Structure 1
Amino acid sequence: MAKPFEKIFAEATTTPSPHGRGTVSICRRGGSNNNTGSILVVAINRPKARNALSDDTYEDLLEVLERAKNDPSIAAVVWTGAGSYFCSGADVKNKKFDLASFQEGDPVLLQPNGRFMMAMVSFPKLICAAVQGPTVGIAASALLQCDLVYFSQKAFFWAPFARLSLVPELTASATLIETMGLSKANEILLLGKRVDAKTALDWGICSQVITDCDLSSGDPFHPNSLASRMCQDIDKRLLSLTNGPATAQVFCTLVKGARRSRMHQVLLRELAVLDQRFRNGEVLEAAKQLVIGAQKKKKKEARAPRSRL
């Protein structure tokens, strides 16, 4: 039987604890300012699936964000991943790629992925990303909703929406252009350009590339993990200051509050088009063609003669 969320949350103040359906783990860090400025580290914990976002993962993330939003002792959330991947995007084995179930179900806005997007746009506190490895698809778009983003040297940013006949998700149709300009944004959105850590820094996707953090263990809660390094910076440079947690909340009210309404409208427009593309079969057809292409490539490689030394 799963533990009550309150118990898991309490245990996570000292050691990492699995949450909910087991797709994420959580732990608190910082809190040097009379425990009113804790940082909640949330790690997607599906390393065998490259931390792909299934419906269960979306639901777990939604529950954690809701609890963090309403807990006055938490000043910030740091999102990261277990293993080598930050997140490989939406789980293609998820039921949302089944056209029949999609036609019978709710619009995207009411599905777990749509509700997660809305929660990211609406989150009223600091939300940051420690991107220790590759980030793909919706996870890449989510970085543009984060207040701070750190990359490791092994991270890359890839939004291959066009390959699946998808649309820019989670406000990427606006935030990518605002971040790097129209031409570079379209290299990513239309041409599927994969952006390495150095380019991500140059283009404003992240603020730092940390080269000396621990990546070998795959443990997001390691004392020298990228997430831990980010927590140390946030705690030392902001939350441990006099009135630090209150200052963080003022920032969120002024900066994030000013753009929230506009981001909601962008997201709703994207979701309406995404819903249409799913229902008319474009996404399913593109997914099938990608699978067929991958199978043909695999067979061709298997038939190719091996070179002899």
Structure 2
Amino acid sequence: MSALLRIETAGATQVWTIDLPHVGNAITDTEFIAAFEAAVAAANADLDVRAVILTGAGKIFSAGGNVKEMADQQGMFGVSALDQRRAYVDGIQRIPRALARLEVPLIAAVNGPAIGAGCDLAMMCDIRVASERASFAESFVQIGLIPGDGGTWFLPRAIGYERAAEMTFTGDRVDANTALAWGMVSRVVAHDELLAEARALADRITKNPTHALRMAKRLMHESRTGPLESTLGMAAAMQPLAHRDPEHEQRISRWRSTV
């Protein structure tokens, strides 16, 4: 386990905490990205894990890229344009690719500002629960950049094209209540209740059978972009596996006993 991404397990739920408060929980560090990929692989391999909560240490969910490194032209920001292209592919773009591989539901517990790539990271999650102190900004244009991590793919799918365009073209910040009204988050709670609320949601998810949950997650992701026929085909292939799962048989037996 990396010190940059703290992982705690309670029952069938893992809590992943980005622990880089000194740089606003920036997510462009290559060591953090590698730790993130490792966490995804480990969760996929452990069938006892049925949900993951992602949050940030301190007052910020994530400030996105490390702006100081950009200003000082350090690391990937100090190389040629062609090398920088590869640095994006081999760097921060590994995060959306890793999350696309995560087999269990992912809940963002947004404890504070989610800015730039931090906003995009929240949009990559399946469900978002926000503290009253949370805010969101697709702020790249304000410093002369574009979303380099897939934000233009994730944000419109979360809130629709027009609102995503407004956020992307202005860079303006959206507060927690506006995020709720726009459907960016599923609920806003008192700051001190954030993790408890996320855990309660995870508990309702993790009570369900492992394999059905993981297959449902895959179907939900494929359905975001795939045609109906492809989704129906996948469902037809997956459902017989679910029917043969001992957990399904146990649930059916319990249901029979109550009828």
- With structure 2 as the length reference, what TM-score do the two structures score? 0.77
- Matching residue of 2:5: 24
Pair 1:82-2:57 in alignment:
yes
Equivalent residue, structure 2, for 1:278: none
In 2, distance between residues paired with 1:108 and 1:85?
25
**Cross-structure match for 2:13:** 39
* Map of 1:239 onto structure 2: 206
Task: Point out the structure with the larger helix share.
Answer: 2
Q: Retained in 1: the 8 A contact 2:52–2:202?
A: no
Query: 119, 134, 139: which is aligned to 2:98?
Result: 119
Distance 1:180 1:260 in 2: 15
Aligned residues of 2:13 and 2:206 also touching (Cα < 8 A): no
The 5-angstrom pairing of residues 1-309 of structure 1 reads: 19-20=1-2, 22-29=3-10, 31=11, 38-53=12-27, 54-92=29-67, 93=69, 95-100=75-80, 103-104=82-83, 107-108=86-87, 110-211=89-190, 213-214=191-192, 226-235=194-203, 237-241=204-208, 243=209, 245-259=210-224
1:99-147 CA-to-partner distances (Å, cap 9, x unmatched) read: 34x6446714542212122112332221110001111111211222211
Alpha-carbon distance in structure 1 between the residues aligned to 2:122 and 2:186: 11
Partner Cα separation in structure 2 for residue 261 and residue 166 of structure 1 = 30
Q: SS of the counterpart of 2:128?
A: strand
User: For residues 57-103 of structure 1, what are the alpha-carbon distances to aligned partners after superposition, in whole Å with 9 as ceiling and x for unaligned?
Assistant: 21211211121122211111111011000111011325122134x64
Shift of 1:208: 0.5
CA deviations on 1:177-231 (whole Å, 9 max, x unpaired) are: 23333332121101111000000001111000011x42xxxxxxxxx5x234312
- Quick one: distance in 2 between partners of 1:259 and 1:141? 17
Identity %: 26
CA 1:178 to 1:257, structure 2 compared with 1: closer, same or farther past 3 Å? closer
Instruction: Check whether the contact 1:156–1:197 (CA below 8 A) recurs between aligned residues.
Output: yes
Distance (Å, rounded) in 1 between the aligned partners of 2:198 and 2:175: 20
Cα deviation, 1:264-296, whole Å, max 9, x if unaligned, reads xxxxxxxxxxxxxxxxxxxxxxxxxxxxxxxxx
* Uncovered stretches (5+) of structure 2, i.e. residues with no partner: 228-259
Long gaps (5+) in structure 1: 1-18, 32-37, 215-223, 263-309
- The one-letter code matched in structure 2 to 1:257 is E
Three-state SS of the structure 2 residue aligned to 1:190 is: helix
Partner of 1:220: none
Give the residue type in structure 1 aligned to 2:93.
G
CA RMSD of aligned residues (A): 2.3
Higher deviation after alignment, 164-173 or 147-156: 164-173
What is the number of equivalent residue pairs in this alignment? 221
Secondary structure at 1:107 match in 2: helix
